[in-house]
Amino acid sequence: MLRCADAALAASVSNAGALGTISPYAGMKEGQDPLDNLRFQIRKTRQLTARPFAVNVPLDLRASGLMLDLVVEENLGIVVTAAGSPELFTELLHSSGIRVLHVVSSVSQAQFAESCGVDAVIAEGVEAGGRVGRDELALFSLIPQVADAVAIPVIAAGGISDGRGMAAALALGAEGVQLGTRFIATVECPAHPEHKKAIIEAGDTDTIVTGRGVAPVRRLKADLKEGEAYAGSSAGLIKNVIPAAEVIAELVHYKPRI
């Protein structure tokens, strides 16, 4: 959701009781300075919600270090890091009172992240949209192995779109879930209408992993006019575009069948 998770979406998620997250390039215009854009998104989110929210900073971005300096300057409380070593910035962020969640796709990555002092790991399975781990581990195999291997909280990500998926993740040892694709198909998300339409029309086999061996990503097979449309395999479960608050409410009020 590098260009989709903007202030409006993050604030809506936080106002509904979850943790909204800003992506640094969300809403950025062509030629705009990404640091100026991130500063704008942070400050706009603060205008829209008094609740906590996070910023997601992939560590392989050219300006990732400067983005994290900006996060410190803006006195945010939570950062999600990914696509790089948590050893690089975790101590710096902690020294400023910022909690760090790091995305992992294997047990060894989770253990290393824990050794670097991160506050929680986000265990992401191959079902996730966008970038996925090179080992392509399925989430429901990954969660219990990571939960058994580390003492810090584990958050599950990849292929979860509703209360059923959250309940299953919690049963396997996760203490929370992260949703991406489900929030693309929300009213507040700035994604192109054709992207949203492709998600809600997708079936179970309509996503594919490409870029294996270099930078594997999961995207829709849809024939869109401009660029790729990233989406997780949960796209086959998503049938409507609804407000973000309704997504949160369904997660919270879901009652598993016994």
Pick 2 or 239 by higher pLDDT: 239
pLDDT band at 257 (very low <50, low <70, confident <90, very high): confident
Q: Is the pLDDT of residue 225 over 80?
A: no
Pick 29 or 139 by higher pLDDT: 139
253 alpha-carbon distance from chain centroid: 22
Query: Using CA atoms, how far apart are residues 53 and 11, in angstroms rounded to an integer?
Result: 8
pLDDT band at 258 (very low <50, low <70, confident <90, very high): low
CB 201 within 8 A of CB 188: no
Q: Is the pLDDT of residue 81 over 90?
A: yes
Q: What is the mean pLDDT of residues 65-94?
A: 91
What residue spans of 49-84 are helical by DSSP H?
A: 64-73
Q: What is the mean pLDDT of residues 164-183?
A: 95
- Amino acid at position 134, single letter: R
CB 249 within 8 A of CB 16: yes
CB-based contacts of 169: which residues, under 8 Å, 6+ apart?
139, 140, 143, 156, 160, 177
Name beta bridge partners: 20.
53
Query: Using CA atoms, how far apart are residues 56 and 151, in angstroms rounded to an integer?
Result: 23
3-state secondary structure 169-205: HHHCCCCEEECCHHHHCECCCCCCHHHHHHHHCCCCC
Domain ranges of the chain: 7-253
Report pLDDT digits (tens) over 95-127: 999 999 999 999 999 999 999 999 999 999 999
Please tell me the least confidently modeled range out of 81-95, 106-120, 218-232. Answer: 218-232
Of all helices (H) and strands (E), which one includes residue 21?
strand 20-22
Dihedral of CA atoms 9, 12, 13, 14 in degrees, nearest 10, equals: 120
Q: Is the pLDDT of residue 226 over 80?
A: no
Quote the pLDDT of residue 88.
86
CB-based contacts of 158: which residues, under 8 Å, 6+ apart?
124, 125, 126, 127, 128, 132, 139, 232
Helix axes 139-149, 163-171, angle to 10 degrees: 40
Q: Is 67 in a helix, a strand, or coil?
A: helix
pTM comes to 0.90
Quote the pLDDT of residue 136.
86
Query: Using CA atoms, how far apart are residues 191 and 4, in angstroms rounded to an integer?
Result: 6
Quote the pLDDT of residue 224.
62
String of b and e for 95-111 (b: at least 16 CB within 10 Å)? Answer: eeebbbbbbbbbbebbe
Q: What is the mean pLDDT of residues 136-145?
A: 94
CB 254 within 8 A of CB 214: no
Q: Is the pLDDT of residue 12 over 90?
A: yes
Q: What is the mean pLDDT of residues 172-187?
A: 95
Q: Are strands 20-22 and 176-178 parallel, antiparallel or unpaired?
A: unpaired
What is the fold, at CATH topology level, of the domain defined by 7-253? TIM Barrel (3.20.20)
pLDDT band at 30 (very low <50, low <70, confident <90, very high): confident
DSSP for 129-169, please give it.
Answer: SEE--TT---HHHHHHHHHHH-SS-EEEESS--SHHHHHHH
